[in-house]
Structure 1
Amino acid sequence: MTQIRTGCDLASVDDVRAGISAHGERYLARVFTERERADAGDDPERLAARFAGKEAVIKLLRPTRSESVPLRDVAIVLDEHGAPSVELVGAAAGLAATAGITTVDVSLSHERGLALATAVALSER
C-alpha cells in the first residue's frame, strides 16, 4: 500500500550563524556537504533552510530511537533548474530503501530570521 510521508522543520538563522561563529569550519563540515555549502554560498539564511530541510527529511524517514541519521547523510542541493532536491546516502538511504521511498521532494523558505522546510515522499511499505 502506498503511503504519503511528510516532515517539516523550522530553523533559526541566528542559531546557524552562532554555530558558524562558535565553531567555524568544524561546524560547517559536520553539518553540511561541500555541495550544499557551494549552493548556499555559505550564507547563513540559505544554510538554515538546508538545515531545516535535512531535519524535515529525517522526520519523514522515521528513524527509531536506536537509529541514528547523521545530518550529512541528507543533502539539500540545487537541481539543474535551481530548485532544491534531496540526495540520500548512508543511514538515510538505508531507511528510505526499507520504506520503499525512491524520491523525496522538499520545499524551502526563509524570512525574518527563520527558515522553514517541508519534505514529502511516497512510501511503498
Structure 2
Amino acid sequence: MQIRQGIDIVSVKRFEEIVCRHGDRFLDRIFTPGERTYCEGKRYKFEHYAARFAAKEAMMKAMEIRAKNRFRFREIEVRRRSTGKPEIHLSPESAQRFGLPPGARIELSMAHERAHAVSFVLFFFG
C-alpha cells in the first residue's frame, strides 16, 4: 500500500481580506453550493471557509495535482459525514481525471481557530 500526504495552513485574516476584496465571484469559483451554505451558516464563517480552502490545497499536494493541470477547486468538495467528521468528495469524473486509483481511501483532518486554519490529508492506495 502506498500513502501520500498533504498539509496546508491558511491565515484566516488574509483569507477574509481576499473574500472582502473579490466577493461572491471568488467564493463561487472556489467552493461548491453545499460548502457555501455550510460556511455561511456558521458564526465564524471565515474560519470554516479557510479550513476548507486548506483542505483543497492539502488534497492537491497529496495527489500531486499542479495548477497547470486546469484544476478547479470546486472539483474537490469538503462534506461532513453523519458523525460530523469531514471528508473529501470527488466526482467520478474528477477522480478519473486526477488519476485516483480504484479503491483509494482519503482521510481528512481539519482544525481552525481565530488566526489560522489547517488541514491534513492522507491518501491511501495500491
Normalized against structure 1, the TM-score is what?
0.86
2:51 to 46, 49, 52: 49
Give the structure 2 partner of residue 72 of structure 1.
Answer: 74
Amino acid at match of 1:84: P
Which range is displaced more, 81-90 or 21-30?
A: 81-90
Shift of 1:83: 1.3
Distance 1:102 1:110, change over 3 A: same
- Aligned pairs, how many? 122
Alpha-carbon distance in 1 for matches of 2:50, 2:66: 25
Where in structure 2 are there 5+ consecutive unaligned residues?
Answer: none
Query: Does structure 2 conserve the Cα–Cα contact (< 8 Å) formed by 1:53 and 1:117?
Result: yes
Alpha-carbon distance in 2 for matches of 1:34, 1:113: 25
Query: Does structure 1 conserve the Cα–Cα contact (< 8 Å) formed by 2:105 and 2:125?
Result: no
Amino acid at match of 1:38: T
Query: Does structure 1 conserve the Cα–Cα contact (< 8 Å) formed by 2:60 and 2:66?
Result: no
Normalized against structure 2, the TM-score is what?
0.85
Distance 1:81 1:66, change over 3 A: same
Give the structure 2 partner of residue 6 of structure 1.
Answer: 5
Residue 94 (str. 1) matches residue 97 (str. 2):
yes
Shift of 1:96: 4.3
Give the structure 2 partner of residue 20 of structure 1.
Answer: 19
Query: Does structure 1 conserve the Cα–Cα contact (< 8 Å) formed by 2:63 and 2:123?
Result: no
Query: Does structure 2 conserve the Cα–Cα contact (< 8 Å) formed by 1:53 and 1:106?
Result: yes
Amino acid at match of 1:114: H
Please report the RMSD computed on the Cα atoms of aligned residues, expressed in angstroms: 1.9
Where in structure 1 are there 5+ consecutive unaligned residues?
Answer: none
Alpha-carbon distance in 2 for matches of 1:5, 1:101: 15
